Amino acid sequence: MVTLAEVAKHAGVSASTVSYVLSGKRSISSPTRERVEKAISELGYHPNAGARALAGKRSHIIALVVPLRTDVYVPIMMEIAISVTVAARSHGYDVLLITNDEGPEGVRRVAASGLADGVILMDVELDDARIPVLRETGTHAALIGLPADTRGLACVDHDFAGAGALCAEHLADLGHQDIAFIGYAPGVYQRHAGYAERTLSGFRERAAQRGLRVLHRPCEGSYESTAGALSRILADRPATTGFVVQNEGAIGPLLSLLRTSGRVVPEDASVVALCPDPLAEQYSPRLTAVTGPAHELGRQAVALVMNRLDDRPTAEVSLLTPVLTPRESSGPAPVR
């Protein structure tokens, strides 16, 4: 193993000079710097992470706590995880993956051991058990998602309420009056997942403003449950012409079922999905969809943690604006 001392000897300077060349924390004359850099690359030197962490009091690692649950759309989680990792690297940080089966103690473990300098929590619940640990240990953290009490916490999330409102707005503009909202599984609402509730309430509120009639149906996301939800919708409100879907599993079945029931999209029924654009593009017809910038979530979460590490003040909550992309699945309400 190549050490800093060996580099120093090879370059004919002292160890501290090499260290300072690396950290840039004091000015070095060009000739010295070049000799050191040459030595570094000739010897293939890589600073020892453990020693650096011990002496420098910073591991240059942040922990990313991911949920084990799979009822959230997995590709999005992955996209966020990857954007977090890439963003962290651009700050000279690495990312440690922590699964939520360790529970709140996982957070304590990585923070108290100095394994990680900061923590990013994904899939934050309204009353998240990891938050007390954060407060208690004073861990630098950023949350992806909104807990009930955000005081003193840095949070980023999609503006789900805005996304819901956007759906209502779009369908109202197209003249639809009866809208069904096909949502996540009942359990998601029962555990008061913030994103599900916020989307729904944003949607309901705007729908009310625009005088729309609204029906909300939770749905497991399987073909059968979608069929059940749809048939109940059509039984209860035969005049329904607009559908908002916030459940990736229900999209395919819904389109099939509408087709089977003789409804042509978008002539007879409009569909707006709350889902990532690549997914929306896969269907036929391509779906009008509302999406938030997933990779931006990761970037901002990392930025928040970095700010706190350098104790720079940051806004507590930042909500990312969703975008509605009109595609082929939505059109003017049919004339009666």
Q: Which positions touch a second copy (CB under 8 A)?
A: 1-2, 44, 46-54, 59, 61, 64, 66, 68, 70, 74-75, 77-78, 81-82, 85-86, 89, 94-99, 101-102, 108-110, 112-115, 221-224, 227, 249, 252-253, 255-256, 259, 278, 281-284
Give the full edge-to-edge strand order of the sheet including 270-274.
213-217, 178-182, 242-245, 270-274, 288-291, 323-325
The token pair that represents 273 in the structure block: 């999905």
**Residue 284 contact partner, candidates DNA, a second copy, none, CB within 5 to 8 A by sort of partner:** a second copy
- Shortest spacing between CB 43 and DNA, in angstroms: 11
- Shortest spacing between CB 76 and DNA, in angstroms: 36
**Using CA atoms, how far apart are residues 231 and 80, in angstroms rounded to an integer?**
36
Minimum CB distance to DNA smaller for 22 or for 82: 22
- Shortest spacing between CB 53 and DNA, in angstroms: 8
Compute the CA torsion angle 218, 222, 223, 226 (nearest 10 deg).
Answer: 0
Cα 185 from chain centroid (whole Å)? 20
- Shortest spacing between CB 32 and DNA, in angstroms: 3
**Residue 16 contact partner, candidates a second copy, DNA, none, CB within 5 to 8 A by sort of partner:** DNA
Q: Are 213 and 178 in contact (CB under 8 A)?
A: yes
Minimum CB distance to a second copy smaller for 52 or for 210: 52
Compute the CA torsion angle 16, 21, 27, 33 (nearest 10 deg).
Answer: 110
- Shortest spacing between CB 91 and DNA, in angstroms: 15
**Residue 97 contact partner, candidates DNA, a second copy, none, CB within 5 to 8 A by sort of partner:** a second copy
- Shortest spacing between CB 311 and DNA, in angstroms: 15
**Closest alpha carbon to 2 in 57, 41, 50:** 41
Minimum CB distance to a second copy smaller for 197 or for 268: 268
Segments in the chain forming alpha helices (H): 4-11, 15-23, 30-43, 49-56, 74-90, 104-112, 130-137, 160-173, 186-190, 194-209, 223-236, 248-260, 277-282, 294-309
Minimum CB distance to a second copy smaller for 189 or for 223: 223
**Using CA atoms, how far apart are residues 240 and 265, in angstroms rounded to an integer?**
13
**Residue 108 contact partner, candidates a second copy, DNA, none, CB within 5 to 8 A by sort of partner:** a second copy
Q: What's phi and psi for 179, nearest 5 deg?
A: -125, 140
Task: List contacts with DNA (CB under 7 A).
Answer: 1, 3-5, 12-17, 19-20, 22-23, 25-29, 31-33, 45, 47-48, 51-52, 54-57
